[in-house]
Amino acid sequence: MWTGDTYLEDLYKQAEAKRNFTARSESPEAKQARLKASLRRAAGEFELNKQDQPVRLESVQCQGYTRERIELSALPGLSFGAYVLIPDAATANTPGVIAVHGHGYGSRQISGLLEDGSADTGEADGYHHFAVQLVQKGLVVIAPDVSGFGERRLEADLAENPDAPNSCHRMSTQLLMLGKTLTGLRVTELLHTLDYFSGRQEVDPSRIGIVGFSGGSLLAFIVAAVDERILASVLIGFPNTFKDSIMSVRHCICNYVPDILKLGELPELIGLIAPRPLFLESGSNDPIFPVEGFKQAVKELKQLYAQAGVSENLQYDLFPGAHEVSGRNSFDWLHATLAKR
């Protein structure tokens, strides 16, 4: 009799039991330090470009803010673009936020632009131009292009299909063959983005937050978990359990990080952000990050923040909606959290 389903379930439970056994022999602090180091390593390590010389490609005055286009490079020979949105009212030492998009056509999609770079004056899609919403709150925003999307799709994919939605599959599979992951490459570029952004004269380096949606939230949570410079985090359309989301619903291969379940289930790993402020947001009808998994993540993270004595630093919003950005409460929360420091 074929019992593959039971077998996989048993493996999942065995991994959970092993994690619990390991955790019993160490202090909460030691466990957190171990998990942070392991999470960074699990994504695969990359040689860094130590001589990046950022280039400003353009500067456009928009309504209430300036939109700069910057080119950065975290890895040797690999550059990427990022929009920096600067409120007209910004002074030196304004709070900043890294805005991380997920699947789609890249930084333009969250910065109020169409794929061809022209202004998107139509009805906003599920991203709701969230980088623009954040700059309109008075925050300096940087929105980097995540590798594999938009202008960062591979030529090999575009040669096969000029409308290829992304290069996640080709990039992920080739990196996996080398013991690396696309998540690791993307996180490395985001950490470099943080280095650059912290040095901008408009930005207060002690007041930087991060907002990620969907696949961008996977990256945002890892960056926040491993780098204490992130003061506050908003994770949208992603907080869940692995079991209820990427292990139950078919997702893009770029969501899967080898060995990660040996470290922890998703709520526990998101909990590495504690005690720093964290906002969890999800649509009640999100079909790919289901509501039951979101509720479980909220429950576990509430316990974790309570144990750390900082219950007030965890907020959440289950808004009526699908797999999309709301920001109805989280963006004001982020602004207030970064402002009060």
Other C-beta atoms closer than 10 Å to the C-beta of 262 total 12
* Residue 232 CA: distances (Å) to CA of 140, 183, 215: 14, 21, 18
Of 328, 312, 317, 245, nearest to 281 (Cα)? 317
Taking the complex as a whole, the smallest distance from the CB of residue 167 to Zn ion amounts, in Å, to 9
- The stretch among 16-24, 42-50, 138-146, 163-171 that binds Zn ion (CB under 5 A) is 163-171
Judged by beta carbon, residue 252 or residue 270, the one nearer Zn ion is 252
Rounded least distance, CB 75 to Zn ion, Å: 19
Stretch that binds Zn ion, among 162-170, 202-210, 222-230, 312-320 (CB under 5 A): 162-170
User: Could you tell me the smallest distance in angstroms from the CB atom of residue 164 to Zn ion?
Assistant: 12
Q: How far is the CB of 104 from Zn ion (least distance, A)?
A: 10
How many C-beta neighbours within 10 Å does residue 171 have? Answer: 24
Question: Least distance to Zn ion from the beta carbon of 31, Å?
Answer: 30
Classify residue 329 as exposed, middle or buried by CB count within 10 Å of its CB (0-12, 13-18, 19+): middle
In this structure, what DSSP letter does residue 251 have? -
Total Cβ atoms within 10 A of residue 261: 19
Cβ proximity to Zn ion, 216 vs 290, nearer residue: 216
Q: Which stretch binds Zn ion (CB under 5 A): 60-68, 161-169, 240-248, 266-274?
A: 161-169
Q: Binding of Zn ion at residue 141 (CB under 5 A)? A: no
How many residues make contact with Zn ion (CB under 5 A)? 3
Residues 214-253 contacting Zn ion, CB under 5 A: 252
CA distance 75 to 248: 34
3-class secondary structure, 324 = coil
Distance, CA of 193 to CA of 212 (rounded, Å)? 14
> Taking CB under 5 A as the criterion, which residues in 165-194 touch Zn ion?
168
Find out whether 334 and 97 touch, Cβ atoms under 8 Å: yes
Q: Which two tokens stand for residue 244?
A: 């209820």
In angstroms, what is the minimal distance from the CB of 61 to Zn ion? Answer: 34
What track of x and - describes contact with Zn ion for positions 247 through 266 (by CB under 5 A)? -----x-x------------
Least separation in angstroms between CB 326 and Zn ion: 22
Per the document, the length of the chain is 341
Give SS3 for 28. Answer: helix
> Contact positions toward Zn ion, by CB under 5 A?
168, 252, 254
